[in-house]
Amino acid sequence: MQQQQFNDDFIINSPVGKLGICVHDEQLTRLDYLPDSRRLKPVSTGFGQRVCSELATWFEDPGYRFTLPVAMPGTAFQQRVWQQLTRIEPGAVMTYGELAALLHSGARAVGNACRRNPVSIIVPCHRVIGAAGIGGYSGNTTGPGLERKRWLLQHEGAVIPALKSA
């Protein structure tokens, strides 16, 4: 998730910080990690309540499978990557290289598609790791983004043996 300025439909607290959420026509279109300084913005629609409910359920039960409809504009390749991300089981991980081999592509291209995922957590790009470490998250290899990725993986019970921290 890039730190761009979006007009969030609502902003909620979560165990990984404030989340800015955008919806359109009963579809989730963005989920952004926001600075703690951002003010909460209440949910005002039934679909927004559904988004909050499913997120709360996942934060309580990391094995929960989201059923939210999403609208994710992207290239054909990005769509293929994002579709594969939804097939990685909670608590499981796959390396960028493994995912690239599945898609007959390169690890860097997969990483770039993961970086552009507009609805992380829902489409779980955090389950993709590097061959020699945890990899990056949202284009960052240090800082709060990477700490979120570690938290998300630990929350799901992912075991990452013999990998060093990035």
Choose among 136, 131, 140: nearest CA to 163: 131
Name 14's Cβ contacts closer than 8 Å, sequence gap at least 6: 55, 59
Domain residue limits, the chain = 10-60, 76-155
Q: What are phi and psi of 94, to 5 degrees?
A: -140, 140
Is it the case that residue 4 has pLDDT exceeding 80? no
Q: What is the dihedral of CA 57, 63, 65, 66, to 10 degrees?
A: 40
Q: Higher-confidence residue: 164 or 156?
A: 156
d(CA 56, CA 65): 12
CA–centroid distance for 99 within its chain: 16
As a 3-state breakdown, the chain gives helix, strand, coil percent values, each rounded to 5, of 35, 15, 50
CATH of the domain spanning 76-155: 1.10.10.10
The amino acid present at 152, given as its one-letter code, is: L
Active site residues: 125
DSSP string of 45-73? SHHHHHHHHHHHHHHH-TTPPP---B---
| pLDDT single digits (tens) 44-85 | 899 999 999 999 999 999 999 999 999 999 999 999 999 999
Higher-confidence residue of 44 and 141: namely 44
